[in-house]
Amino acid sequence: MAIIGHTAKTAKSAQLVIALLVLLKSLSAQSAESELEAIQDSVIKIYTTQAAPDYFTPWRLLTPRQSSGSGSVIAGNRILTNAHVVANASYVQAQKHNDPKRYLARVVFVSHDADLALITVDEEGFFNDLEPLALGELPEPQREVSVFGYPMGGKSLSITKGILSRVEQQIYAHAGAYLLAGQIDAAINPGNSGGPVIVDREIIGVVMQANSGGRSENLGYFVPPSIIAHVLADAEDGSNEGFPDLGFRTQTLDSPAAKSAYGLTKEQDGVLVIKVFEDSPAFGLVEENDVIVSIDDFPIAEDGSIRLSDEIQTDYKHAIDLHLVGDSVALSLIRNGHPLDVTLEAREALDSYSLVMGERFDSAPEYLIYGGVLFVPLNMNLIKRWGNDWSRSAPVNLLQARNEWSSPQRRQLVVALQVLAADVNLGYHDWRNWIVDQVNGVPIRDFNDFAERLASNTQANVVFENSNGYQMIINHAAAKASEQEILSRYQIPASSSAELRWSALEE
């Protein structure tokens, strides 16, 4: 009888344990579902109408197109999304989860370099039932993450899971900046852009545009917390100062012979300074052939990397990206074999340290028509106008110019993009994509300098010349006399962009 009683008690205890486990599992599922619902409500679908300028005919816009993206509610009644979701947008709307209504939204801050933007909805009560998501810490690789968003192929919210596979510097597809990025194997497709990457109910990333040509893929990238935090801090005063550039360029020192030549021991590592730009924070403090061995508390390895954690290494540039404009940045150098410490002020990057200006958004292109010749400044907007395969299809001379440094004497390149056929430019009708280096024998500093030369010209002819000595000669009086007829013939509203604020041919 004792054995039977003991068996009954054991069975009853087992039933209680099972019931408790079922209850705990149910409570856990309810808690997880509640957390999921809270996150879902904070994920917003964004609709935009975008009309980008046509850099081949810069007085026109390309055909407007409708697109959509995702975003997440953060503190301050703001929605965090991608810059490319709202770039060149003329109309923006926001839609809440399980709400058919679309609300008019407006852009309050954009960082094109980081591919991040902040928008808001002014309609009263929009944010009342939405819980802001907090910014979390970047987890170590191999951690499971959840991606929320509204990808193509449906209207409802999609949640996918994946593994954080690696974290390192990447070229951001939107504006070409080289910043820290996370890579995940969760399915990320068009429409997911701007959606949050979540761990423990916190944002550890914002899905960003991948270099996939718009194709669906099972690999994607996100903007990590350090870059998001930088942008949010930059946005506090409403002025986009961006990521500082100290004004030097380097190469790796992984050759033992090179290390020895520049005074390093076998145990020392660093990067070799090969260029210091005038008017930059480094000018006068850092010299070419210096070796930078550390930035702040980050020692630089021979491959140019720094260690962020036991599992994450990335390019030393990230140590600079962590700073806001106005911060001090400490560098440890080796100069002629001797150690040297310098402190640089983090300042806004110049417009471009390359002769080819970076891609611009939300602004009209500059142009000038003189003697029926369309002149434009060379930038990445123009180069990318040759299509997704621009690195192969754009003219070689324009692509090669990307490898040339700028200087105070030569800040920008001017291109004779095309010739609008007329009597004044007979003999040049098939000239196009031609870089102009000099006007009447004087080198060009930038596009404004070029425009001012034409406006103040007193010579009978204007001679445009390239680096190989080829010349295009336009009679100044004929150019003035033919301007209105050429504009009318080709249905062009003005001979120059509004930014120039003058016509080169006005009396």
> 176 CB contacts (<8 Å, ≥6 apart)?
358, 359, 380
Neighbours of 253 (CB within 10 A): 25
pTM: 0.87
**E strand residue ranges, 346-393:** 368-370, 373-377
Which pLDDT does position 11 carry in this prediction? 58
Q: Cα torsion at 486, 489, 490, 491 (round to 10°)?
A: 110
Nearest to 228 by CA among 113, 126, 96: 113
pLDDT for res 214: 46
3-class secondary structure, 287: coil
Q: How far apart are CA 191 and CA 70, in angstroms?
A: 6
433 CB neighbour count, 10 Å cutoff: 16
What is the average pLDDT value for the chain, to the nearest integer? Answer: 90
Backbone angles phi, psi at 478, to 5 degrees: -70, -35
Find the helix or strand (DSSP H, E) in which 87 lies: none
Please say if 351 is a catalytic residue. no
Beta carbons of 114 and 233 less than 8 angstroms apart? no
- What letter represents residue 229's amino acid? A
Residue (of 476, 464, 477) closest to 375 by Cα position = 464
pLDDT value of position 88: 95
How many Å apart are CA 356 and CA 445, to the nearest integer?
Answer: 13
Q: Which of 148, 145, 79, 168 is nearest to 116 (CA)?
A: 79
pLDDT in tens, 211-228: 544 444 567 899 999 999
Q: Which of 68, 111, 113, 115 is catalytic?
A: 115
Position 467 scores a pLDDT of 94
| Annotated catalytic residue, options 70, 72, 84, 234 | 84
Residue 193 among the catalytic residues: yes
pLDDT at 213: 45
Identity of the residue numbered 270: G
CB neighbours of residue 466 within 10 Å: 15
Neighbours of 156 (CB within 10 A): 8
Neighbour-count burial for 41-63, b at 16+ CB within 10 Å, e otherwise: bbbbbbbbebebbebebbbeeee
The verdict on whether 54 is a catalytic residue reads no
State the catalytic residue, choosing from 193, 294, 482, 503: 193
Which amino acid is present at 317? K
Q: Are 500 and 375 in contact (CB under 8 A)?
A: no
Rounded to the nearest 5 percent, the helix, strand and coil shares of the chain are 20, 35, 45
pLDDT of 211 reads 56
Q: Give the pairing type, strands 291-295 and 438-439.
A: unpaired
pLDDT by residue, tens only, the chain of 507 residues:
555 555 555 656 666 656 665 555 554 444 445 566 779 999 999 999 999 999 999 999 999 999 999 999 999 999 999 999 999 999 999 999 989 999 999 999 999 999 999 999 999 999 999 999 999 999 999 999 999 999 887 788 989 899 999 999 999 999 999 999 999 987 677 788 999 999 999 999 999 975 544 444 567 899 999 999 999 999 999 999 999 999 999 999 989 999 999 989 988 999 999 999 998 999 999 999 999 999 999 999 999 999 999 899 999 999 999 999 999 999 999 999 999 999 999 999 877 788 999 999 999 999 999 999 999 999 999 999 999 899 999 999 999 999 999 998 999 999 999 999 999 999 999 999 999 999 999 999 999 999 999 999 999 999 999 999 999 999 999 999 999 999 999 999 999 998 785 444 444
At 23 the pLDDT is: 56
Largest alpha-carbon pair distance within the chain?
124
| pLDDT value at residue 218 | 66
Burial tier of 316 (Cβ tally within 10 Å: 0-12, 13-18, 19+): buried
